Amino acid sequence: MTLSKKSQLALLTAILVLAAATRILHLGDQAFWLDEGSTYFILTQPDMFEALARTDVHPPLFFMLLRGWVALTGWSEVSMRMFSVLFSILCVALIVPLAKVMNRGRGWFQTPVVWILAALMLTLSDPDVVLAQDARQYTLRSALSIVCMIGYLRWAHKPSWRRLWLWFLPAVALMYIQYQSAYLFLLQGLHVLIFLRGRVRIVAIVTLALVGVAFLPWALGYALGQSDNDFGIFSSLPSDWWTLTEIMRKYISTQWALMLLLMVLGIAVLMPEKRRLNFKLDGTTFLLVMWIVLTVGITFVWNLWYPVLAPHRLLFISIPIALLIAQGLRNIRAPERWLLVGVITVFGLSVVDDYYPKEPWDDMASSATQYSEPGDLALLEVYRGDNPLRYYLDQQSGYALDVESLHRWREFRAAEYPHGILDIIDQHDHVWLLHWSPDRFVFDFLAQTGHVQTALQTTRHLDNDLNVYRFDRLPDGEVARFENGMILRDVAIHEPEMRVDLWWTTEAALPLDYSVSAFLLDANGQLVAQHDGFPFVNARPTTAWSPGDVIYDPKPLQPTVLPPGTYTVAVQLYTYFDGVRYPTVGGDDWATVGTLMITP
């Protein structure tokens, strides 16, 4: 099939639109996960380099670029992830010139069919779609890897200083993006030794050496010290056969038999005049095969000492996989080829072979920020989930909460733990404890500082409970006592949110479910705002209380906008099923608990 340039452009445009659609669709549906939380942590540190050296295992360039991006686009999940989306779409575009330069002089593969199909295969790659929706460096590394390989092959074909710079600069950038980019330079070095000759070989070796020299300042100043940092505990897989099959399933789909056969066919060149395949190890075949073998093989071995083997860290093998599958399809006759392309496309768009269910940290944080006040303390005991949780606490509260991670105290301030964190807890009367951990020492800390649990909200995730507790330290005494046995221990009135917070207790079990009404009266005694319901937004009915429990009960008043003035705040109890009111022990129909002043 011969395609005009106009047809090629139309097909490639359609593929790019498809790539954009698959990567942008549902971009903000899932919350940030652990790695994206780490990205946020690094970006918000005053000294990014020091934070990377002390807590991370990556070089700085991605974080520097992303910090500039968020300065322009903001801190939302969608805007931060869009940085990765753009580079993933760029990869689909860049694989076209890569296919062209790799197949220069290979007449059978030097056809638009190969590079159009390569772009389509990369578009349909599930790992590329998943990691395009991840605020991490993987798609940037893939894009730079393609640019670097194009630069190398163009220079090797026709050496010049300009082309040398177009190879050298992306190579240096890659080393400052992720250390595993070194696999690409090992691949290029082997290709240099086997397929280049004379002065070109010498210049290539010197260029690769200079890439290493350009990386030395970071390597000696920071990278060596990162070897003791956390490589991602529990996020790596064992170096075994099961892991290899898992990687194969993700990168070549559950249609692995078909795709693997196409990759093998992609190594061969069809000789139409002889009606047979010719398996010949040329420079292009070497690069494509060894790109995969070196990346997976070295990572498998390295993983025996450091936990680095995770499918998402191998993303740039999707590039040679897409090229090999495209070449394999080229070796199939046209009618059958396009039938297979249709099957692969429909399967790729309808079946998900790679998916990471991410913890709902946004929902968990919302349980705290919904009723928190500026200066409240948020304590995080969620192990390595503290970074994404911190992101949502910051964004949802407008950075108004004081946030402390128990995990970070133990890891980075061990000499001050637990006395330092106890001092901080003691400075706050209201504490939100976000807990997902077998470690329960924090409950002892809160008991030592006189805080009592007043509320609990739970978010479910994969049969796990992500708990948000509220702890309060209340003043002695009481605000009001009602004839039904309910005791109002404390009241807080929040004018900006138009909310009244109540704290209840009882000395004996309560036989009925009582409704609580918090309301405002204007200067004429007229009702102007109100909120009725069971305590704690209907989640703590009074028949479930135990004597001595303290119950937090927020009452968001409606309407939320009133004319300026001074309003009386009152609380009344009743049973909704019969309308009976329960007065205070002093005989008042309701308890007047304070005033709310709204200024112009």
Interhelix angle 386-397/361-369, rounded to 10 degrees, is 40
Residue linked to tokens 């020492």:
441
The pairing of beta strand 480-481 with beta strand 452-461: unpaired
CB atoms within 10 A of CB 253: 20
pLDDT at 494: 95
**Is it true that 361-472 and 480-598 share their CATH fold?**
no
CB atoms within 10 A of CB 108: 16
Name the DSSP letter for residue 482.
Answer: B
pLDDT at 282: 87
Which of 119, 147, 168, 57 is CA-nearest to residue 341? 119
Q: Classify residue 289 by burial, with Cβ atoms within 10 Å: 0-12, 13-18, 19+.
A: middle
Of all residues in the chain, what percent are helix, strand and coil, respectively (each to 5)? 50, 15, 30
Interhelix angle 318-330/112-124, rounded to 10 degrees, is 130
Domain boundaries, the chain: 5-350, 361-472, 480-598
CA 280 to chain centre: 43
CA-CA distance, 474 to 452, in Å (whole number)? Answer: 8
Chunk the chain into consecutive blocks of 10 residues (it has 600) and report each block's average pLDDT, rounded to whole numbers.
82 96 95 94 94 91 97 96 98 97 87 95 96 96 98 96 96 96 96 96 97 95 82 71 91 91 86 62 92 95 87 93 95 90 94 85 96 96 92 96 95 93 97 95 96 96 94 96 97 95 97 97 96 96 96 96 95 95 96 92
Cis bond leading into 554, ω under 30°? no
Cis bond leading into 418, ω under 30°? yes
SS3 352: coil
SS3 184: helix
pLDDT at 109: 85
Contact 135, 38 (CB under 8 A): no
CA-CA distance, 432 to 169, in Å (whole number)? Answer: 49
CA-CA distance, 268 to 324, in Å (whole number)? Answer: 10
CA angle 83, 229, 399 (to 5 degrees): 50
Q: What topology is assigned to 480-598 in CATH?
A: Coagulation Factor XIII; Chain A, domain 1 (2.70.50)
pLDDT at 355: 80
CA-CA distance, 148 to 178, in Å (whole number)? Answer: 14
Contact 530, 557 (CB under 8 A): yes
Which of 453, 511, 509, 501 is CA-nearest to residue 479? 501
Pseudo-torsion of CA 182, 185, 189, 190, nearest 10°?
Answer: 70
CATH class, domain 361-472, is: alpha beta
pTM for this prediction = 0.92
Residue linked to tokens 């409950």:
443
Residue 594, beta-bridge partner list: 569
Residues with Cβ < 8 Å from 427, sequence gap 6 or more? 377
Residue 472, beta-bridge partner list: 430, 452
Interhelix angle 318-330/283-302, rounded to 10 degrees, is 140
Cis bond leading into 559, ω under 30°? yes
Rounded to a whole number, what is the distance in angstroms from the first to the last CA of the chain? 75
CA-CA distance, 502 to 569, in Å (whole number)? Answer: 12
- The DSSP annotation for 263-326 comes to HHHHHEEEETTTTEEEE---HHHHHHHHHHHHHHHHHHHHTTTS----GGGGGGGHHHHHHHHH
